[in-house]
Structure 1
Amino acid sequence: MDQTTPTAIQLDEEEEERDSPFNAYRFAASETTKAIVREAIGLLLNCEAHLGLRTNKRRDRDQQTFDLTVDAILSDLMHHHLAEHVGDIYVRRSNRVLGTKSRYRPRAYSKMFPHILDLMARPEMAYVEQQIASPVEGAARATVIRPGSRLLDRIAEHGVGIADLDEHPRGETIVLKRVKDREDYWDEGGLEEYDDTPATERHRSELDEINRWIADADLRFDDEGLPWPRTQFSIRDRRLRRIFTQSRFDSGGRLFGGFWQSLRKQERRQGLWISGERAVELDYGQVGPRILYGMAGHKPPFEDLYDIWRYGINRPAIKKVMNAMILASDTLNRFPKGTRKLFPRSYKVGEVVEAIEAKHPLIRNYFHRGLGHDAQFIESQMMIEVLLTLRDRGIVALPIHDAVLVPVSAVSITKGVMLDTFHRHAHVEGTVTEEAFRE
């Protein structure tokens, strides 16, 4: 199996959700949730004493870590439950992971973590349900947790809401992911440690500026008239991280985080207000293929690079297959996830790949070379420059990978900035499309 294929496209936000990684930065922000955490800590300490699991009192710092960990586990479980995520939360229990120093790991994710989790999962505690990872080869390698009956009771009894929870600033905003092991299906890429360089320090400084600017922005969300179910979120969740890939700081680099990225498109269109005005989403069109043409030193010959006449009715599917071809390191031997159903059963992936290559002979040799990560770096550099330029012009902008949300009055200026920035970085003309509020 080609291990680049399942992750070779960025899936639409409306597609199915999977298990989420444990967020050890969450904490109880209101008196209501703080009381739930205090009660849990007291019960857990009593349980330890009753079972003889601990005979000596912890040192002050160790007790602080214990309290912080309990707070983080309960808060993330409550947030996940209230946000109505489809999957569960997965955590790592390996001492090999938790016992080593890392710039990424928060204090709540220490060697003490498995003990605390097991304690909270005991039947008499019932704060957590956990499904511990199986050592059997081929089975999932992360432990899955979900709220236990006691925690669900506390949520209901106290009427806990998303606003009762918050998130500490993440310690590291510049994240480096290593190359996936293509021989290991379950390898998720993981995080890679690194030493700071002038480049990483510049990336962090730029992102710190952007995060401070967005933290102070006038943002409002009006959910009146939005259909159920609605995405649950905290408007205080604004901190962005920049994630680089392939063990390189010139690969990937997209921005992740911020409550607006978790919203559905219709929710953003209808409910989000920036600086007292309706938010408008401006997207770079066909960004991957256009950047690829720039890499090849050619001008895109067509206005719509995803229009393959034979498959015209399946343009969204062609877009996904084409972007998978840009990201994949080997020729696709199966349809990317979610696209098989978009083509007639008689169509084979090889035929679609050949049709795309025939439509784009100038960049044919640039497909299936893993250049999507390089293209994403160019795209992410453009986005950083767009955000900093708009900040200097007094325009608040919220990034969503290759798009920005801006006030409606700033559409014209923002389009000009985006197009100018695209041309200078990609060396070809770009396109910007507008997705505005719809009554």
Structure 2
Amino acid sequence: MAPLITTPDDEDDERDHPFNAYRFAASDNAKGIVAEAVRLLLNYEERFGLKMNKRRAQDQETFDLTVDAILSDLMHHHLVEHPAGIYVTRSNRVLGARNRYRPPAYSKVFPHILDLLSKPELGYVLQDKAAPIPGASKSTAIRPGPTLLARIHDGDIALDDLDEHPHGETIILKRVKDADNYWDEGGLEQYVDTPTTERYRDELEKINQWLAAADLGYDRRGIPWPHTSFDIGDRRLRRIFTQARFTSGGRMFGGFWQQLRKDERRQGLRIGGEKAVELDYGQVGPRILYGMAGHPPAADDLYFMHGYNRHRDGIKKVMSAMIFAGERLDRFPKDTRKLFRKTDRIAEVVEAVEAKHPLIKDHFHKGLGHDAQFVESSILVDVLLDLRSKGVVALPIHDAVMVPASKVSMTEEVMLRVFNAHAHVQGSVTVEG
């Protein structure tokens, strides 16, 4: 039986709100909250004999940095009104490993500090520990406790009271998941820098600096509830490569605009005071696959199938699964069954797709999805760099960008030219809305 195809695994854990270990208190009021907490934690340790010897100066510096990061990220999380908690790890394997990914606030004492902050007598953190059973989530959720909430209120803490240290690694490499272990959540792969990884990092740093200085705004008026919570200062991107190689995946993640719903982005986002317009690459996966096969794509809608006129969304998802799958599909991909008629069978749908696209039939079910995604991500990086050279701010959303309304024509020309240079076939761009 072929594996159940879901979304590409570079997106799996990007939907939650992971702990930002680079956050810190920037104002006197916020620093006072952190300093008080550190003092209370040290007194608590001494009172109950939890620390027999005085910490070395370096260890105390890490302790203070960790408390600062935890409380600052919780304050930030509360101020932007995220409904869920923050997900943190208590894994010694992650916290104790010295590598390019580990933030300075991570160490083996991280769980100890969390537990101290969660003591009812201190009340800084509410902590829901992960269940120690196979198959359960490996993350622990934390939320602001009553003491921290009171300090936020009494200190009149706002987002301007918090800041971020420069992030560590922006070029992320994920290892291959264990196909025989359903519960394997993947992980990060260590690597040695090469001219290629250094180029990727340099390109992304240019983009991040450009976005950090951009004039971005947001207008909620007229946008229906619920409104997504976000921090407009959250603009830093990272590229996530998959399958333990730098020719796989590579999509850019991060930036508050990626958290917004489509209607919120298209109605509320402003760039340089102008309404932001979204331009999407159309049918990007199949077009890139045609380029890999060395054939021009068909001129009509690549997702239109005779007999499935009203099921284009389903065909689109099935085709994506066929591109990512390493074996022939023998069941509908996750969440796609409802997009077809009850009488439709996956084998018939797959055959219809192959009949529509005989020139790339041999490229389906070969696990080429991550390779195609690398081409797509390389296209987006070059689009952003090209637009930057022209003074145009563009916000990436995987296979799309948002630009000021006055720059739509210029952006469309850049997108089509860059697509052709990378994919070696003609692209398609849709101006949304």
- The answer, yes or no, to whether TM exceeds 0.5 is yes
Point out the more displaced range, 73-82 or 199-208.
Answer: 73-82
Instruction: Give a deviation string over 1:402-425, Cα, whole Å, max 9, x none.
Output: 111111111111111110111111
Distance of aligned partners of 1:313 and 1:163 in 2 relative to their CA distance in 1, 3 Å threshold: farther
Q: CA deviation at 1:351?
A: 3.0
C-alpha RMSD of the superposition: 2.5
- Judge conservation of contact 1:166–1:236 (CA < 8 Å) in 2: no
Identity, % of aligned pairs? 65
Instruction: Give a deviation string over 1:215-235, Cα, whole Å, max 9, x none.
Output: 222222222333332222222
* 2:369 matches 1:334: no
What is aligned with 1:199?
Answer: 196
**Distance of 1:346 and 1:162 partners within structure 2:** 54
**Distance of 1:204 and 1:337 partners within structure 2:** 34
SS where residue 76 of structure 1 aligns? helix
Q: CA deviation at 1:103?
A: 0.2
What is aligned with 1:214?
Answer: 211
Question: Which amino acid is 2:348 matched to?
Answer: E
Q: CA deviation at 1:196?
A: 0.4
Q: CA deviation at 1:255?
A: 0.9
What is aligned with 1:183?
Answer: 180
What is aligned with 2:410?
Answer: 413
**Distance of 1:304 and 1:208 partners within structure 2:** 37
- Judge conservation of contact 2:4–2:331 (CA < 8 Å) in 1: no
Extract unaligned runs of 5+ from structure 1: none
Point out the more displaced range, 393-402 or 134-143.
Answer: 134-143
SS where residue 180 of structure 2 aligns? coil
Instruction: Give a deviation string over 1:176-202, Cα, whole Å, max 9, x none.
Output: 011111111121221111000011111
**Distance of 2:125 and 2:362 partners within structure 1:** 52
What is aligned with 1:61?
Answer: 58
1:38 to 30, 35, 38: 35
Q: CA deviation at 1:64?
A: 2.0
Instruction: Provide the TM-score with structure 2 as the length reference.
Output: 0.92
Point out the more displaced range, 407-416 or 70-79.
Answer: 70-79
**Distance of 2:110 and 2:154 partners within structure 1:** 27
What is aligned with 2:145?
Answer: 148
What is aligned with 2:7?
Answer: 7
Question: Which amino acid is 2:5 matched to?
Answer: T
* 2:137 matches 1:137: no
Superposed counterparts of 1:3-402, under 5 Å:
5-8=5-8, 19-85=16-82, 87-155=84-152, 160-402=157-399
Question: Which amino acid is 2:101 matched to?
Answer: Y
SS where residue 21 of structure 1 aligns? coil
SS where residue 122 of structure 1 aligns? coil
Q: CA deviation at 1:161?
A: 4.7
SS where residue 310 of structure 1 aligns? coil
**Distance of 2:308 and 2:317 partners within structure 1:** 13
SS where residue 308 of structure 2 aligns? helix
Instruction: Give a deviation string over 1:327-350, Cα, whole Å, max 9, x none.
Output: 122233433333233233333333
- Judge conservation of contact 2:238–2:254 (CA < 8 Å) in 1: yes
Distance of aligned partners of 1:329 and 1:111 in 2 relative to their CA distance in 1, 3 Å threshold: same
SS where residue 406 of structure 1 aligns? strand
Q: How many residues align?
A: 433
Distance of aligned partners of 1:175 and 1:233 in 2 relative to their CA distance in 1, 3 Å threshold: same
Q: CA deviation at 1:32?
A: 4.3
**Distance of 1:95 and 1:10 partners within structure 2:** 23
Distance of aligned partners of 1:2 and 1:178 in 2 relative to their CA distance in 1, 3 Å threshold: farther
Q: CA deviation at 1:163?
A: 4.7
Extract unaligned runs of 5+ from structure 2: none
SS where residue 36 of structure 2 aligns? helix
Point out the more displaced range, 338-347 or 317-326.
Answer: 338-347
Question: Which amino acid is 1:142 matched to?
Answer: S
Distance of aligned partners of 1:230 and 1:251 in 2 relative to their CA distance in 1, 3 Å threshold: same
SS where residue 46 of structure 1 aligns? helix
Distance of aligned partners of 1:303 and 1:3 in 2 relative to their CA distance in 1, 3 Å threshold: same
Q: CA deviation at 1:10?
A: 8.7
